[in-house]
Every structure is written in C-alpha cells, then in structure tokens.
Chains A and B, each alone.
Chain A
Amino acid sequence: MTTDSYALHSDDHAHDTASHGSLKSYLIGFGLSVVLTAIPFWLVMTGVLDDKQVTALIVLVFAAVQIVVHMVYFLHMNTRSENGWTMMALIFTVIMVVIALTGSLWVMHHLNTNMMPMHDMSQMP
C-alpha cells in the first residue's frame, strides 16, 4: 500500500518536472522574438514615427509581449507545473517588481519636480 502510493507520488513528480517544449514550440518562440525585437530596433533606429512618446510606448508594449513569449515558449511557464507553485512565485515576483519600479519612479519624479530650482549644471565651467 505504502509503496504503491510512493510510486504514484514519484510518478507525479516526474510528470511535473518534465514540461519541456517541442521543436515546434521553440521555433515559434524564436520566430516571434525575432519579429518582436526587430520592430522596436527598426522604429528607434530609423525614427519612422515623429512622436517620441508614441515610439517609446510602442517599444515598451513590444518588450512586454516579448517577455511573455519567452516565458511561455522558452521557460515553459504554465499553471500546472509543480502544482502551480512556479506560477504563484512568478505572480508574487511580478507584483514586487511592479511596486518597486513604479514606486521608485513615481516618488523620485515628484521629488525632482518639487525640488528648488538649482543652478544649471551645464553652465558650470
């Protein structure tokens, strides 16, 4: 009885860790990331769009999509592996990263704009 459940368990674990991709999924991931890398570089290098803000926004969106593509096709992220614990850890990390990044940028931006006007560094000898 106990050996049975033991064998079942180890079988379970083996299935958990064996979430590899196939040749097809690797090639799809590679193709997508080539396109998702090439377009932002092309946008910035040629300066097709006059508005820099719009270009920056598009570049950021492409980066976000490419990160998801890498996560799915190269790192084989899914909600099932390790009983969902990898996904839980990822979600927690993403929340922490978002708080750290937006918090720092937001606070420091306000600090900068509320500073007393200082002497212009570029005018210094």
Chain B
Amino acid sequence: MVINDVINHTPENLSITEKTAKIDATGMYYKDLNSLLRSLDANGIENIEIHNVYGQRYIGTDLDNHINIDIYGTPGNDLGSFMKGTNITVHGNAQDGCGNTMDHGKIVVHGRAGDLVGHSMRGGKIFIRDDAGYRVGIHMKEYLGKRPSIVIGGTAQDFLGEYMAGGVLVVLGLNMKEKVHNARFVGTGMHGGTMYIRGDVRHLGEEVAVAELNDDDYNILGSLVDEFCSYYGLDAEKILQSKFNKIFPVSSRPYGNLYAY
C-alpha cells in the first residue's frame, strides 16, 4: 500500500490501522477532507471514520469504490453527491442536498435531514431515521436497471417527490402523532417512479393519483422497510401492517411529444 502521500498530507489528523483510517476533521477545510478521502480510497483503505465533522461539504463526492465511511458530527450540504458505490453512515443529522445526484451506494442517517434529500438521484439508496425537509426526491430518476430509493422514517415536508421521474420514495411517518402527513404539493410535476406513504397525505399535486398497493408494490416496499429496520433496530412486520398509500403519476412524459410533432 502506498500511503505515504496520504500520511504526509495531514499527519496530525490521520491514523491508519491496516485497512481502517481515522480522521479528526476538526477545523479541516472541506476540499482537504475530500482530497484525503480520495487518496485513502485510491490506496486501498476500506473503512474510514471521520470525527468532529462540522459542515464540511460534499463528503464522499466522486468516490467510486465500495468503502465504508462513518461520519460523527454534522456533515455539510450535498453529502455523498455524485457518489458511485460508497456506504456512508451518519451518526448525527444531515443537512441539505444529502445524496445529490448520487449514482450508486448508500447513505444511512441516524437522525434527521434537511431539504432536498436525494436531489436528482439516479441510483443507490438513502435511509433517514427521522424527519426530512422540503423537496425530498426532487428530480429523482431511473433508467433500465438503475432505480434509486429513499426511505424516510419520520415525515417529510412540502413538494415531496417534486418532478420525480423515477425511483422509489417511502415515507413511514413513524414519529407522527396524527396519521396525516402535513406535506403539501406532494408529487407536483411527478411523471415517473412511485411513492409509498404510510398514512394519508394532506395535499397532493395535480399530476398524481393514489392507489392501493398490489403484490409487486408490497415486494418492493417490504424489502426496503426490512433494510430500513435492520439499520435502526425496528420491527418491519409491525410497520408493514399499517395502511400504505401508493402515489403514482397519472401521465408519463407529458411533454415527450412537444418538440417531436
């Protein structure tokens, strides 16, 4: 392993044992942190713990190997953006744009997330234990075998699934007192993909309809809820007993012919 570069880079912040690296990110500039992660990734490190994270942006961006990153603290905006295979676990809350344009890999947040979770995501999975902010899954898309999914354990705010073009979005509402998600404009502009919502939704966009789940839906939902519960020590069976609503677009590619005819 050629890790001399890495060690010279920030010796006081880094300790490496075999294939595991520990970084103290106190006061570390985000570009330096992400450069360090790229070097560690390129040098065969498989597990990285980052401690004292306070808002460093883009953590995990561009990483394309199947490494594990554990983040302690509050990672900054666009966590895991453009990520291509890494597993990120956040021991804390995520800010805005978590998983922005993520391609492959996984983000598991043991806390809440801000706005724009999974913005333009095109592959991989995101799990948020608690609530998420506005515009979860905006512009999410799928193509052939690539199908991104997001599971929110709590509730999500307005414009959930806005302009969604593909993928699966699950909202479990586990912490809600009432059974109605307070979100407005859910699925506005949605023209692809599926949402599964546990409980009812206050206000839907004009481009979507609600249906009961069929067996295929339950297969997809079941495996996502199982995985969700495995991270947070929850009972999937109990959660799946509740009523879910499927929200789907009533038209697909509504402007597909706009420039063609």
**Bound pair (A, B):** no
A positions within 8 Å CB-CB of B = none
